[in-house]
Copies of this chain bind each other. A is one copy, B any other.
């Protein structure tokens, strides 16, 4: 990374817009895309930001989630998505736990791919896990934010808190641990905190009230409606691999009909 601040006005503006949308009048709704065609569809439907789904994106490439895909393929796919939408549309990439890249390289590659935001999870895919130490993760987030600023782009980090989805510790202690981690990640410079796997209203409300910053909730069957999530003060709602899986189910239905001799 260069020590001078390069001129990146389109990316800097897009990053600023993305971060601001976490403090708008209602939730930033992100129907996650997995390829250039789905990204174009998201924009054509009037959504202001394209967020990728890591599971959907790597499945479309033929790989499994959890950093099983070659990182070059992942960034190439993000690049195709950013190229497919117009310059002004912020693109935020789900980069899992960062594919073991150092923060400076992670940000450099994200910006080179046209992305201005990233999901970064505290699951430990390559260590004894389940989670990275909270202090280490906060330091990593701070280093990512600093690398972005050094490049002239204030990237939006959506800091995943995997306490609930990884069922860490006793159930009764998870909310407190998620709050502790979420606060640390916001203090480190994250734009938003994403406690994935939380779908019940009391826990969502406690997280929104207690974390002191924007919270991302995964929309899925069984989770509160978008209207209810807005009432609860949720700042960002994403769909993960849900839309990609729904289109795959639609395709499986078409294939079954063709197998039965139909021309759907």
Interface residues of A (CB under 8 A from B): 29, 31, 35-42, 44-47, 59-63, 80-81, 83-84, 219-221, 223, 225-227, 239, 243-244, 246-248, 250-252, 254-256, 258-259, 261-264
A144 shortest CB reach to chain B, Å: 27
| Residue of chain B at shortest CB distance from A264 | B246
B251 adjacent to A219 (CB under 8 Å): no
Instruction: Contacts A35-B35, A264-B246 given; indicate if A62 touches B40 (C-beta within 8 A).
Output: yes
| Residue of chain B at shortest CB distance from A80 | B62
| Residue of chain B at shortest CB distance from A227 | B261
Residues of B within 8 A of A37 (CB): 59-60, 62, 244, 248
A226 adjacent to B41 (CB under 8 Å): no
A35 adjacent to B47 (CB under 8 Å): no
11 further contact pairs, Cβ within 8 A, besides A45-B259, A225-B263: A37-B60, A38-B251, A41-B248, A41-B252, A44-B252, A46-B259, A60-B60, A223-B263, A247-B247, A247-B250, A250-B250
A72 shortest CB reach to chain B, Å: 11
Residues of B within 8 A of A46 (CB): 259
